[in-house]
Structure 1
Amino acid sequence: MYVILVYDCGEKRVGKMLKLCRRYLNWIQNSVFEGEISEVKLKELTLKAGKIMNLEEDSLIVFSGRTEKWLDKQIVGKERSSIDNFL
């Protein structure tokens, strides 16, 4: 499945969340990630994120769809990290 993940965490937890999410998805902007991920890996990611987060203060939002082709994406300005397919 294709997901867009957004988080909002306290200052002390931001670094840990960034490192965790970068292991599973592509970092596209501050606290925003996207990419293909299996349901099992997404569940693993959300469980690990829940352990980092303060559930009364922080949030994690996941938008999911079948595939990226059903999503129109427009970038204005500089793209943080381009996602290239190369071998």
Structure 2
Amino acid sequence: MYVIIVYDTEHDNCVKLHKQLKKYLFWNQNSVFEGTVTVAQYAKIKHILEETRAENSHITFYSIENEKFLCREEQGSAKGNISNIL
């Protein structure tokens, strides 16, 4: 499944969430991660984030079964890297 995770949190917690998410997904831009994961990995990510996030933070999860159904358009310079690393 292809997921996009977006979060809004305090600065100190932002570093913690970033560290956890980069284990599974590609960093796209500030507080945005995306990539392909298994259903089990997705459940684990959600569990980790629930334990790691600050009380007043907000996390949004977007998921689709297959990336080919995703229409992606960008403007401006990208900050992250979503290319596959071999």
In the other structure, the counterpart of 1:67 is: 66
Q: Which amino acid aligns with 1:80?
A: K
> 1:22-37, aligned counterparts within 5 Å?
22-37=22-37
In the other structure, the counterpart of 1:8 is: 8
In the other structure, the counterpart of 1:58 is: 57
What TM-score, normalized by structure 2, do the two folds share?
0.89
Aligned residues with identical type, % of pairs: 31
Gaps (5+ residues) in structure 2? none
Q: Which amino acid aligns with 2:22?
A: R
What TM-score, normalized by structure 1, do the two folds share?
0.88
**Root-mean-square deviation (CA), in Å?**
1.4
- 3-state DSSP of counterpart to 2:50: helix
- 3-state DSSP of counterpart to 1:28: strand
Q: Check whether the contact 2:28–2:78 (CA below 8 A) recurs between aligned residues.
A: yes
After superposition, what is the alpha-carbon deviation per residue over 1:23-82, rounded to whole angstroms, capped at 9, x for unaligned?
110100100011101111111111111111134x11111100011111111111111234
Gaps (5+ residues) in structure 1? none
In the other structure, the counterpart of 2:21 is: 21
- 3-state DSSP of counterpart to 1:13: helix
In the other structure, the counterpart of 1:76 is: 75
Count of aligned positions: 86
